[in-house]
Structure formats: structure tokens, C-alpha cells
Amino acid sequence: MTLLIRGGTVVTHDTTFCADVLCEDGTIIAVGPDLDAPADAEIVDAKGQYVMPGGIDPHTHMQMPFMGATASEDFYTGTAAALAGGTTMIIDFVIPNPGQSLIEAYRTWRGWAEKAAADYSFHVAVTWWADSVAEEMGTLVREYGVNSFKHFMAYKNALMATDDILVESFTRCLELGAVPNVHAENGDLVAHLQQKLLAQGITGPEAHPLSRPPQVEGEAAGRAIRIAGTLGAPVYLVHVSTKDALDEITTARASGQVVFGEVLAGHLLLDDSVYQNEDWATAAAYVMSPPFRPKGHQEALWNGLRSGNLQTTATDHCCFCAEQKAMGRDDFTKIPNGTAGVEDRMALLWDAGVNAGKLSMQEFVAVTSTNTAKIFNLYPRKGAVSVGSDADLVVWDPHGKRNLSAKTHHQNIDFNIFEGLEVTGIPRHTISRGKLVWSDGELRAESGAGRYVDRPPYPGLYDSLRKRNELATPKAVVR
Ligand SMILES: [Zn+2]
């Protein structure tokens, strides 16, 4: 099937030009002025609009079992909401229980994801260590298209990876050519502060940010970065929410270390005053980790994006409805952690970034799509508007307006953390694998239309790292 996007302005991470874009059988087959299309081709009028690579959200948790609940958004509803927001691919997380086979867990998540409406891929978490874990990591990289492994430095006695696990796993990642990801929060400190707050009788959501202050993230970020630096491995920090962690990244990058940082739309836009809401359910709806931060951190994170020290934006989309959040009514540590956003990220980044003069249009494309594609070795299949790339595109209306609200969003959750915010700049059309799936407010998402995307190891990154590590290898003194 053929689709022609006519008369728009193409914006990529490095250039802007007027061109039509012709898609056939899921692939972009021509980009240029005044393209002809077969008589039966579907035509999308993009006059006055921008044609950009579809968004890639590198951090979502659809249908995740967590803290005694299961995320309310499944792979169909979640990817459909993503498409309505101009995001055409997600990278979700396989999270094996400690002791569980990584491949068994991977198969479970692959099964859940079969109904996805948009393309998807998986990071796999390392939550425990044994020789069999190292072996399965190899199988996942070689045979299952996984090139990134996630490590939770938080969630003590549950998912937490202690330093010994980080050392083993980062070393293995380096051998395999995979990128280690970390959730940087000091789990021991969090557990200690949680107990202290509960003992003081502070049991509501206002205790959540107090149990995870900025230095808890800064310490863990610094530790993960130094472990990776010592081993000569790269490291990718998910949801960087503080100036403390950003400073660690900035210093390490300035010294030549390969460190990547991701920031969530929520952390760029919201602050910790949300936890002071007198309505328990409203305050609890914002409980996610790391928490929203005191004023001042948001500006630092924007500067991180602009300076290139943070490269990607995500949502950590993990939906729990009011009745699930209520599990923590008497104890904030039992409130399922997570907030939504997969549908809103692109519009938020455009409105608060491009419209506010904080990001150029090219930078917008870089931080919402292309940089993720590059770091996780999807580029130029994804994140590009060029011949041969997947036809995953968004036609962006810079004048369109939308009021963000749980009443109108497509996300399967009864709350929107950006409720009432009006954004200017919205996806008018979304094209997924060459098909028009969102058009003028009409969602045509199709269960099962999304495909699993293999991400092989990234030679461009690892060849230079290996060379660097080899040159730095010490030699024994000959005696
Ligand atoms: Zn997450």
C-alpha cells in the first residue's frame, strides 16, 4: 500500500527542507519535491505542517506487575495512546524476578506485547547474578535482538542490583556490546529513610519525596558512572531527575567517559509541590520514582538537554489507577510507583521546548527520536526521514491546540499528571509502518500491527571503546 505525504516541511535532527514523502509497504521510498504517486495512493496533506520522524519512547512499562499490582495499560492500549501522541515506537522493559531465567521472562513479555499497535523493543533487567545470567545475556544479544540491560539500584529486597552485580553485569555488557542502563537511586538509603518517616508518623504521599531526596540519586549516579568508568564500559542513566545526577554525568562526559542521560517529560515540567495536595488520591497519583523535584532542578534538566549532556526524553509510562494507588492509603511505601505520559510527551516537549525557545525544531527531533535510535542502534531504520527508513512519521501541526486531560486522553488511566495544561503544537497525523493510524483526532490503531524490532549490538560505539580499553591495558614489567 502506498501513502504520499504532500507539501510539508521535513524536519530531521540536522536539517529542514520542503519535500513530499512517499511510503510503500511500510518503508519510505522517496523524499523530494513534487513526487508522483499511484492513483490509488492515500494522500496526506501536510501543507503548513512539519513532517518528522515518529517519536521513540525509550522507557515504558506496559502491563507491568509491580508492588502487588499490574499496570493498567496493556501493550495495545499503551501503544495506541502513543500513536495518538505522535510516538511510533516504545522500548519497554522485561523484568525477571530475582532467580528467574531472563529468557523465560523475555518470552512472557514478548507474549504480552503481541497485541501492540506500534513497533516495540525490550531492554532486559538484571535483578540477580549467576553464571546462567551471564550466559542468557549472551543469548539475548546474539539471538533475540537485545542490546541493553537495565539495573535497578533502588527497590531493596526486590529488584535491587547491588554493586557486585553491577560490576559483573557491566563487564558482561562490555563483552557483548550491550549498553548497561541504570535506575540510579541508593536503595539502602531509601529503605532507611522510609522506615524513619513511617516511625515519625509521616505516612502520606508527602513522605515519598522526603524518602528519596536528590542526593540519593546523585550518589547512585556517581557510583554507577565510576563503576562503568573503571571497567571501561558505557552507561545510560534512565530518568535523570536532579541537578545532582546531571552534574555527575556532565563531569564524566567532560573527562571523556561514554555516559548517556535520559530525562522524563514529567521531571522537566513538574515540581515536588504536587505531593502537598490535601487530597490524598491526587497527591498519590504523582508517586513515582524518582519523585518530582524541588523547583530549580527542572531548569537544570532543560540545560542538560540543550547542552547535549542529556540526550533522550522518555516517560517511564507506568499506569496505576486510583484504586490501585489506594493500596498505600496508610503507608506511602505501598503506593504503586508510576505515572503516565506516553501520549503527551511529544506535545509537552514541543510546547515547553520549541515554543519556549529552549529547543530548536532539530533538537526536538533529536531528543524525542533520533538520539534514542542512535544510542540503541535503531538508526537510520528509525529516527530518520530518509529512503529505506521505516515509514514511522508524524505530521506536526505547530498551531494545533490540545488541552491535556484524563477525560480526553487515550491512556488507560483515570488521572493525567498534566491535567488542564493547554499545549500548542500537536500531532495532526501519525503514520506507523506506512499506515495512517492517527488522523485529525481519529485513532485507527490496530491490535497486533506493531512488530518487535531487533536491536543488534552497536559496533560503532563498541569498536572505539574496545580500542580505548585495549590501549589502556597495563603491561606486566618483564623481570
Ligand atoms: Zn521505569
Report CA(62)–ligand 1 centroid distance (Å). Answer: 10
Q: Is 40 exposed, middle or buried (0-12, 13-18, 19+ CB in 10 A)?
A: exposed
Q: Is residue 272 part of a domain?
A: yes
Report CA(93)–ligand 1 centroid distance (Å). Answer: 8
CA-closest candidate to residue 252, choices 273, 220, 225, 278:
225
CA-closest candidate to residue 267, choices 291, 243, 303:
291
**Dihedral of the alpha carbons of 381, 382, 383, 387, in degrees to the nearest 10:** 40
Report CA(27)–ligand 1 centroid distance (Å). Answer: 31
CA-closest candidate to residue 127, choices 103, 104, 108, 153:
153
Q: Taking a C-beta distance cutoff of 8 angstroms, is the pair 235, 228 a contact? A: yes
| Cα–Cα distance measured from residue 393 to residue 431, given in angstroms and rounded to the nearest whole number | 5
Report CA(61)–ligand 1 centroid distance (Å). Answer: 7
Report CA(53)–ligand 1 centroid distance (Å). Answer: 24
- Which strand (E) or helix (H) includes residue 423? strand 422-432
DSSP conformational letter for 369: I
| Cα–Cα distance measured from residue 164 to residue 59, given in angstroms and rounded to the nearest whole number | 25
Report CA(101)–ligand 1 centroid distance (Å). Answer: 20
Other beta carbons within 10 Å of 48? 12
Report CA(267)–ligand 1 centroid distance (Å). Answer: 13
Q: pLDDT of the chain along its 479 residues, tens only?
A: 899 999 999 999 999 999 999 999 999 999 999 999 999 999 999 999 999 999 999 999 999 988 888 999 999 999 999 999 999 999 999 999 999 999 999 999 999 999 999 999 999 999 999 999 999 999 999 999 999 999 999 999 999 999 999 999 999 999 999 999 999 999 999 999 999 999 999 999 999 999 999 999 999 999 999 999 999 999 999 999 999 999 999 999 999 999 999 999 999 999 999 999 999 999 999 999 999 999 999 999 999 999 999 999 999 999 999 999 999 999 999 999 999 999 999 999 999 999 999 999 999 999 999 999 999 999 999 999 999 999 999 999 999 999 999 999 999 999 999 999 999 999 999 999 999 999 999 999 999 999 999 999 987 778 888 888 889 888 899 99
Report CA(186)–ligand 1 centroid distance (Å). Answer: 15
Take residue 214 and report the three cell numbers written for it.
536528590
Report CA(470)–ligand 1 centroid distance (Å). Answer: 34
Q: Taking a C-beta distance cutoff of 8 angstroms, is the pair 192, 210 a contact? A: no
Q: Is residue 45 part of a domain?
A: no
DSSP conformational letter for 335: S
Report CA(179)–ligand 1 centroid distance (Å). Answer: 16
Q: What angle do CA 449, 22, 113 make, to 5 degrees?
A: 15
* Cis ω for the linkage preceding 457 (within 30 of 0): no
Report CA(188)–ligand 1 centroid distance (Å). Answer: 19
Q: Is residue 29 part of a domain?
A: no
Q: How many helices (H) and strands (E) does the chain have?
A: 16, 19
Q: Is residue 153 part of a domain?
A: yes
CATH of the domain at 84: 3.20.20.140
Q: Is residue 402 part of a domain?
A: no
210: helix, strand or coil? helix
Report CA(138)–ligand 1 centroid distance (Å). Answer: 23
Take residue 388 and report the three cell numbers written for it.
529505506
Q: What is the CA radius of gyration of the chain?
A: 22
Q: How many domains does the chain have?
A: 1
Ranges of beta strands (E only) in 47-153 are: 50-53, 55-60, 65-66, 69-70, 87-94, 119-125, 148-152
Range of the domain at 195: 54-382
Report CA(281)–ligand 1 centroid distance (Å). Answer: 21
Take residue 252 and report the three cell numbers written for it.
564524566
Report CA(266)–ligand 1 centroid distance (Å). Answer: 13
Q: Residue 439: what pLDDT?
A: 98
Spell out the residues 6+ positions from residue 395 whose beta carbon is closer than 8 angstroms to its own: 5, 8, 44, 46, 49, 50, 51, 427, 428, 429, 430, 431
Report CA(90)–ligand 1 centroid distance (Å). Answer: 12
Q: Is residue 132 part of a domain?
A: yes
Report CA(255)–ligand 1 centroid distance (Å). Answer: 28
Report CA(358)–ligand 1 centroid distance (Å). Answer: 26
> What is the secondary structure of 165-205 as a DSSP string?
HHHHHHHHHHHHT-EEEEE---HHHHHHHHHHHHHTT--ST
Q: Is residue 25 part of a domain?
A: no
Report CA(317)–ligand 1 centroid distance (Å). Answer: 7
**Dihedral of the alpha carbons of 376, 382, 385, 389, in degrees to the nearest 10:** 120
Report CA(170)–ligand 1 centroid distance (Å). Answer: 19
Report CA(25)–ligand 1 centroid distance (Å). Answer: 33
Other beta carbons within 10 Å of 111? 10
Report CA(361)–ligand 1 centroid distance (Å). Answer: 27
Report CA(238)–ligand 1 centroid distance (Å). Answer: 8
- Which strand (E) or helix (H) includes residue 223? helix 214-231
Report CA(316)–ligand 1 centroid distance (Å). Answer: 5
Report CA(59)–ligand 1 centroid distance (Å). Answer: 6
Report CA(183)–ligand 1 centroid distance (Å). Answer: 8
Report CA(60)–ligand 1 centroid distance (Å). Answer: 6
Q: Which residues of 191-227 are buried (b: 16+ CB within 10 A; e: fewer)?
A: bebbeebbeeeebbbbbbbbbbbbebbbbbbbbbbeb
Cross-strand partners of 149: 124, 180
Q: Is residue 126 part of a domain?
A: yes
